Amino acid sequence: MTASINDVAQAVGVSASTVSRALRGRPGVSDEVRDRIAAVAAQLGYTASRSASSLASGRTYTIGVLVPYVGRWFFGTVLDAAEKVFSTAGYDVLLYNLGSPETRKRFFTKLPVRKRVDAVLSLLIPDDDESAALRSLGVPLATTVGGTRPGFTVVGIDDRAGTESAVRHLVNLGHRRIGMISGASGPLHWTTPIERRNAYLDVLAEAGIEHDAALEADGDYTVEGGERAMTELLAASRPPTAVFAQSDEMAMGALRALRRHRLKAPDDVSVVGFDDHELADVVGLTTVAQPVAEQGAEAARLLLRQLDEPGAEPPRHVQMPIRLVLRETTAPPRPRGPQ
C-alpha cells in the first residue's frame, strides 16, 4: 500500500534504523546520508506509521482531551486553543465527548486512552474514582475547570474575585434585591458553582443585605435553564431588581425571559453574566470576562512542558486574570426615580 520504512531504506541503500534516526533528527547519521534519506522519503510520500512507532517507542505523540460538551462555547473555545498548541508541537488530539452519564461511564471503565496518549487534558472534573482511573494511566494530567484534584495541574481563574466584582458592581449601583442564577445541578467535585455562590453570599453580607433564598434559582448552565430560572425569580413575591448569572449563557436566557415578560434590562432588572461569551457584546451584556482560550492554551503548554521535562515537579495551580466588563444590562434600580 503506502511506503514503509524499509522501502525508503532500500531505495537509499541504507538500513531501516538509519532511516528512522535520520528522519527523527537523531544523531549518528552523516549529513549527506540524512539529506538523501529526506529526499527519498519526500519523494515516496513516506510517513512513519504512528501505530508502529508508538508500539515500539511507547510514545504516542497524542493527547487525550476530555470534554463534557464540545458544542458549548466555553468548551469549544478551550479545546480550540489547546488543540492549536498541541498540534504545533507535533501532537495529535484524541477527543472524547463525555456529556452524558453513559458515555462518561463507558469511558472511565473501558479507559480507551490506556497506552494511547502521552497526557490528558480534562475539561471536566473527575470524581474520586475517575481521577484515580486517570492517574492509573501514568501520564501527566491537567484540567481547566475549577476544583483542584491530586495529580492534576489545574489552570483556572479566581472565581471568588470574579463574582465579587460582579455582585459588588450591582451593590454599588444601589441594588438591594440581588438574585442569582446558578448552576448547582452539575456533577460533584465541580467547585465553581459553590465558590461563586459563597462569594455572592459574602458580598451581600458585607453590604448588610439579608439573604433571601427565593432569589436563587438553578439555571443548569444553559440558555434554557437561565430562562426558566429568571422566570422563577420573577414569580417571587418580591422579585429582584438585579441578577447575577453564573454564566453568560444563563444570563442570555435570563434576558430572553425578561423579553417574554415585556421587561427590559437594565430598566426593569439589571443582569450581569460571567465568561464574556463571544456574543455577550452583541446583546450588550455586562459580564465578568475570563480568558477562556488562554486557559486552554496554557493548560496545553503546561502539559507539554511536563512531557519535555519528565523529572520536574509540575505546577499545581495557575490562576488567570479576570475583569468586569461593563456594558448595557446594568444600571441603578428604577424605583428611586430616574438616574
Interface residues toward a second copy, by CB under 8 A: 1-2, 45, 47, 49-52, 54-55, 60, 62, 65, 69-73, 75-77, 79-81, 83-84, 87-88, 92-97, 99, 103, 106, 110-112, 114-116, 136, 138, 223, 252-253, 255-256, 259, 278-279, 281-284, 293
Nearest to 156 by CA among 275, 288, 321: 321
Pairing of strands 242-245, 216-218: unpaired
Nearest approach, Cβ of 108 to DNA (angstroms)?
19
Interacting residue with DNA among 27, 45, 208, 310 (CB under 7 A): 27
Terminal C-alpha separation, the chain: 76
**Which is closer to a second copy, CB of 38 or CB of 111?**
111
Which of DNA, a second copy, none does residue 284 bind to, with CB < 5 to 8 Å depending on kind?
a second copy
Which of a second copy, DNA, none does residue 14 bind to, with CB < 5 to 8 Å depending on kind?
DNA
**Which is closer to DNA, CB of 12 or CB of 121?**
12
Joined together, the cell numbers standing for residue 212 give 433571601
Distance CA 68, CA 113 (A): 16
Nearest approach, Cβ of 24 to DNA (angstroms)?
6
Select from 10-18, 134-142, 153-161, 195-203 the region that touches DNA (CB under 7 A): 10-18
Cis (ω within 30 of 0) for the bond into 266? yes
Interacting residue with DNA among 10, 11, 25, 29 (CB under 7 A): 29
Beta bridge partners of 324: 288
Distance CA 16, CA 2 (A): 16
Nearest approach, Cβ of 56 to a second copy (angstroms)?
9
Select from 5-13, 136-144, 217-225, 315-323 the region that touches DNA (CB under 7 A): 5-13
Joined together, the cell numbers standing for residue 33 give 546520508
Chain-centroid distance of CA 323 in Å reads 18
Nearest approach, Cβ of 1 to DNA (angstroms)?
7
User: According to CB under 7 A, which residues from 33 to 52 bind DNA?
Assistant: 33-34, 46-49, 52
> Which residue spans within 31-148 are E strands per DSSP?
62-67, 92-97, 119-122, 141-143
Contacts of 310 (CB under 8 A, 6+ apart): none
Q: How many CB atoms lie within 10 A of CB 305?
A: 14
Which of DNA, a second copy, none does residue 200 bind to, with CB < 5 to 8 Å depending on kind?
none
CB 114 within 8 A of CB 125: no
**Coil vs helix vs strand at 121:** strand
Q: Which residues bind DNA (CB under 7 A)?
A: 1, 4-6, 13-18, 20-21, 23-24, 26-34, 46-49, 52-53, 55-59, 115
